[in-house]
Amino acid sequence: MEHLTHAKQEIFDMYIALIHQQEQQESAMKERISAELESMEQELGSELNLTMSDIHTIACIGDHEPINVTSIAGKMGLSKATVSRITAKLMKKGLIGKTQLSDNKKEVYFRLAGKGKKVHAIHQREHEKIEQRFKGFLDRYSAEEILFARRLFSDLLMNDFLAEPQKRHS
């Protein structure tokens, strides 16, 4: 039983380390994308000053256009107010445009503008490189281990470890 308790502690420690590693890798990805964005800025003659949230919003729009604020918020796990703020900033920079569908003049949808398409392509290339490396990494595991890992990651995503446990009423 002691070894199981120790193993659980090790898994938790690795989980925390993975979260920290993800933060560092996100920063490294931002640097790689920034280098390409800087050359694009020189080409365009204007500064973009994009955050990772801006870049991920561009990616979401590019992957699902035309798309509205509610759908972006749902796909990204952000509030509609946050998405509205980001899309307003992206429109001001000429990265996205808004449009209305012919059958619904009230609803506003977003599409990528030319500059936004370039940012989307840069982001897409980075994600494809990461995906290839990740799938290559998984080749070292058996089908059974991969299926277990899928179940584990699914369960991890469905749990909020920061939330207080619900009290049961007898």
Q: Which of 22-26, 28-32, 49-53 has the lowest mean pLDDT?
A: 28-32
Which is nearest to 30 in space by CA: 55, 48, 58? 55
Q: Any idea which residue has 């703020």 for tokens?
A: 85
Q: Where are the domains of the chain?
A: 2-140
| CA atoms of 14 and 105, how far apart (whole Å) | 50
Decide: helix, strand or coil at residue 56. helix
Predicted local distance difference test score (pLDDT) of residue 44: 65
Q: Write the pLDDT tens digit of every residue in 38-48.
A: 777 777 666 77
pTM of the model: 0.73
* 2-140: CATH class: mainly alpha
Taking residues 11-24, report their average pLDDT: 88
Q: In this predicted structure, what is the pLDDT of residue 169? A: 61
Q: Which has the closest alpha carbon to 99: 115, 88, 90, 111?
A: 111
User: Which pLDDT score is estimated for 87?
Assistant: 97
Q: pLDDT tens, 99-128?
A: 987 777 778 999 999 999 988 998 898 889
